[in-house]
Amino acid sequence: MIDGKNYYQILGVPEDALLKEIQNAWRKFVKENHEDLVPQWERQAAKERMFIINEAYAVLSHEDKRADYDNAHMINGGSKIELVRSRVRKAKEIIQRDCTLITREDIQTIESIIDYLDRKLQEACFERMIDMLNTCPDMARHTVSLAFDEQLLNADTDLFDTLLRKAPYVITFEKVYLYGEDIIGIRGKEHKERNYNQLARVLCHRQDLAKYFVFPSFQEQVSGCESNLLRTFLELTPDVMTQEDFDHYVDSVNDIRWVIHSQLRSYNEQAITWILHARPDLVRKPEKKKAAKELPYALRSHPTNESPVS
What's residue 142's pLDDT? 96
User: Which has more pLDDT, 82 or 123?
Assistant: 123
Q: What is the arithmetic mean of pLDDT over 176-183?
A: 94
The CA-CA-CA angle for residues 16, 21, 24, to 5°, reads 155
What pLDDT, on a 0 to 100 scale, did the predictor assign at position 310?
Answer: 47
Domain boundaries along the sequence of the chain: 7-77, 79-170, 176-284
Least confident of 198-202, 226-230, 301-305: 301-305
Instruction: List Cα–Cα distances, 193 to 20, 219, 237, in angstroms.
Output: 23, 11, 20
**In this predicted structure, what is the pLDDT of residue 237?**
97
Give the model's pLDDT for residue 120. 94
Residue 293: per-residue pLDDT: 61
Q: What is the pLDDT of residues 190-217, one digit of tens each?
A: 999 999 999 999 999 999 999 999 999 9
DSSP of 208-256, one letter per residue? Answer: GGGGGGHHHHHHHHHTT---SHHHHHHHH-GGG--HHHHHHHHHHHHTS
- The b/e string for 31-65 (b: 16+ C-beta within 10 A; e otherwise) is eebeeeebeeeeeeebeebbebbeebbebbeeeee
Q: Can you give the pLDDT at residue 249?
A: 96
pLDDT of residue 164: 97
Question: How far is 235 from 240, CA to CA, in rounded Å?
Answer: 12
pTM exceeds cut of 0.75:
no
Q: Is the pLDDT reported for residue 184 higher than 50?
A: yes
pLDDT in tens, 105-161: 999 999 989 998 999 999 999 999 999 999 999 999 999 999 999 999 999 999 999
**pLDDT-based confidence at residue 58 (cuts at 50, 70, 90):** very high
- pLDDT above 60 (res 306): no
Q: What is the pLDDT of residues 233-281, one digit of tens each?
A: 999 999 999 999 999 999 999 999 888 899 999 999 999 999 999 999 9
- Position 4 scores a pLDDT of 61
Q: For residues 31 and 38, is the Cβ–Cβ distance under 8 A?
A: no
- Average pLDDT over the chain, rounded to whole? 88
Distance of CA 203 to the CA centre of its chain: 16
Q: Class for domain 7-77, per CATH? A: mainly alpha
- Comparison of pLDDT for 77 and 4, the residue scoring more: 4
Higher per-residue confidence, 203 vs 289? 203
Identify the pLDDT of residue 35: 72
pLDDT tens, 1-36? 455 678 899 999 988 788 888 999 998 888 888 777
